[in-house]
């Protein structure tokens, strides 16, 4: 595995691989790698000749109350994990090169952001699309890999790629789960024993309504009530939101049809958990496909 920190060296390496006709799979990260990231690498490894991972804690996507300085970093451990997972190029740029000074253009995401977790993270996705625009130009990937755990990020990135004609395929990688269905997250360690035993109810609630939708339920409101009540009656966690939208547009829908997302957030004492389910419905028959 080659570790590259300078933009010029990355451009040269990418040029070399492009000239040789290699396909490039890209896994952008902010480091402190976990199983979710390694699953993205595994998928990228299967579909591409070269796998590039970036590690860059992007200051632009942190709000004033989100602690950029305290974001966990461990480059040594990350390098070992990345290499073992099969990364060919690990790109670790420095902020001075990524953001060399004042810019003449600012990116502002206007759709898909004022819902779900984005409601409380003003400007977050502006920072995400800004850094990804830079990274996509530098890495020139054929495919870029994102986890469905953060479905809103995927929706926004798909919007970016579509609106600005980036020649990259966005690959949606399914959420990695514990055996009992709980979505894997570094935050799970903050759950008490009792909360951890209750937390699989989040995924159970999504599975339950998926069955209901497959059996013909078409009302988004009734799905929202059902998920909320199910979670409320089975855990001490406070339901922060349960929302249903078209996907990836993230617009409200009255009737459930096409591709939809049911997404939720539950606040426990020291951990806020999110989960979601994306369901593709045949428009005509309202059947799960």
CB of 25 to ligand PAF, least distance (A): 15
Q: Out of 16, 37, 137, 288, which one is annotated catalytic?
A: 37
CB of 71 to ligand PAF, least distance (A): 10
Is 55 a binding residue for ligand PAF by CB under 6 A? The answer is no
CB of 139 to ligand PAF, least distance (A): 12
Calpha distance 152→167 (Å, rounded): 21
**Which of 58, 140 has the CB closer to ligand PAF?**
58
Return the number of other C-beta atoms located less than 10 Å from residue 139's C-beta: 26
Is 139 a binding residue for ligand PAF by CB under 6 A? The answer is no
Strand duo 89-91 + 2-4: pairing: parallel
Is 22 a binding residue for ligand PAF by CB under 6 A? The answer is no
Is 29 a binding residue for ligand PAF by CB under 6 A? The answer is yes
Is 58 a binding residue for ligand PAF by CB under 6 A? The answer is yes
Calpha distance 201→271 (Å, rounded): 15
- Per the DSSP assignment, residues forming a β-bridge with 157 are none
Stretch that binds ligand PAF, among 15-23, 28-36, 159-167, 194-202 (CB under 6 A): 28-36
CB of 132 to ligand PAF, least distance (A): 6
Cα–Cα distances (Å) from 285 to 93, 251, 261, in that order, read 49, 21, 18
Strands annotated E in the chain: 2-4, 24-29, 50-55, 89-91, 143-147, 169-173, 238-246, 258-267, 272-282, 287-288
| Active site (annotated) includes residue 232 | no
Where in 150-209 is the site for ligand PAF (CB under 6 A)?
153
Strands annotated E in 58-196: 89-91, 143-147, 169-173
CB of 147 to ligand PAF, least distance (A): 8
Is 131 a binding residue for ligand PAF by CB under 6 A? The answer is yes
Calpha distance 10→33 (Å, rounded): 21
Among positions 14, 25, 28, 266, the unique one binding ligand PAF when judged by CB under 6 A = 28
Among positions 40, 113, 128, 227, the unique one binding ligand PAF when judged by CB under 6 A = 128
Is 220 a binding residue for ligand PAF by CB under 6 A? The answer is no
| Beta carbons within 8 Å of 80's beta carbon, 6+ residues apart | none
The catalytic site residues sit at 37
Residues that bind ligand PAF (CB under 6 A): 28-30, 58, 61, 128, 131-132, 153
């Amino acid at each position: 595995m080659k570790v590259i920190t300078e933009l010029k060296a990355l451009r040269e390496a990418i040029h070399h691989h492009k000239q040789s006709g290699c396909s490039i799979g890209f896994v952008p990260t902010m480091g402190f790698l976990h199983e979710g990231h390694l699953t993205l690498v595994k998928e990228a490894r299967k579909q591409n000749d070269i796998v590039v991972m970036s590690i860059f804690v992007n200051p632009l996507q942190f709000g004033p109350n989100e602690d950029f300085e305290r974001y966990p970093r461990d480059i040594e451990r990350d390098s070992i994990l990345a290499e073992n997972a099969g990364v060919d190029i690990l790109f670790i740029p420095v902020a001075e090169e990524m953001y060399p000074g004042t810019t003449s253009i600012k990116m502002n995401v206007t759709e898909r952001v004022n819902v779900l977790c984005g409601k409380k993270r003003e400007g977050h996705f502006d920072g995400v699309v800004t850094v990804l625009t830079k990274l996509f130009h530098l890495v020139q990937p054929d495919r870029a890999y994102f986890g469905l755990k953060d479905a809103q990020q995927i929706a926004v990135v798909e919007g970016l790629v579509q609106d600005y004609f980036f020649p990259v395929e966005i690959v949606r990688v399914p959420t990695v789960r514990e055996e009992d269905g709980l979505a894997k997250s570094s935050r799970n360690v903050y759950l008490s024993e009792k909360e951890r035993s209750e937390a699989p109810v989040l995924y159970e609630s999504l599975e339950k309504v998926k069955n209901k939708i497959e059996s013909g339920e078409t009302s988004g409101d009734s799905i929202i009530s059902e998920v909320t009540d199910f979670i409320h009656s089975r855990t001490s966690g406070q339901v922060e939101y349960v929302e249903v939208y078209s996907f990836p547009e993230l617009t409200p829908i009255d009737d459930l049809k096409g591709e939809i997302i049911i997404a939720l957030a539950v606040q426990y004492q020291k951990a806020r958990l999110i989960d979601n389910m994306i369901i593709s419905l045949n428009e005509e028959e309202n059947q799960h496909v």
